[in-house]
Amino acid sequence: MEHYTIATVAQQSADFRRVLWTGKHSQLVIMTIPPGGEIGEEVHDDIDQILSFVSGTGEAVVSGEKRKVAQGDLVVVPAGRTHNFVNTGENPLILYTVYGPPEHADGAVHATKEEADEAEESGADEPPTA
């Protein structure tokens, strides 16, 4: 069994993206988006994603629809939907997200968005295969 006090774990990580746990059908990831930063517009064709916001303020854009997000909010992104999350505040936007199935390499840690983008482009951030 894995057990996390997820808000505490997420707030203790300054990394842009850190994979905490990977299972056969889902994956738990924490993210810290710096002020003025963003995840970057993307789409996961075969992956559902649920994002829960721990602290900070931002904007969720899913299929062109925009909503403000803050601590306690949860956003569901069904597979195939274009999405982006932008930090609009003065403090880091901290969240955790669950992917189903996994999206990233097990145990991956990317300190910055640039590092995360590079890993994705090189194929080093591929999820485990079943």
Whether the pLDDT of residue 108 is over 70: the answer is: yes
DSSP class of 127: P
Extents of the domains making up the chain: 6-122
Percent of the chain clearing pLDDT 90 (strictly above): 87
Q: Which tens digits make up the pLDDT trace of 52-100?
A: 999 999 999 999 999 999 999 999 999 999 999 999 999 999 999 999 9
pLDDT: is 121 or 82 the higher one? 82
Q: Considering the entire predicted model, what is its pTM? A: 0.90
Q: How far apart are CA 5 and CA 20, in angstroms?
A: 12
What is the CATH number that goes with domain 6-122?
2.60.120.10
Nearest to 37 by CA among 93, 118, 95: 93
Backbone angles phi, psi at 63, to 5 degrees: 50, 40
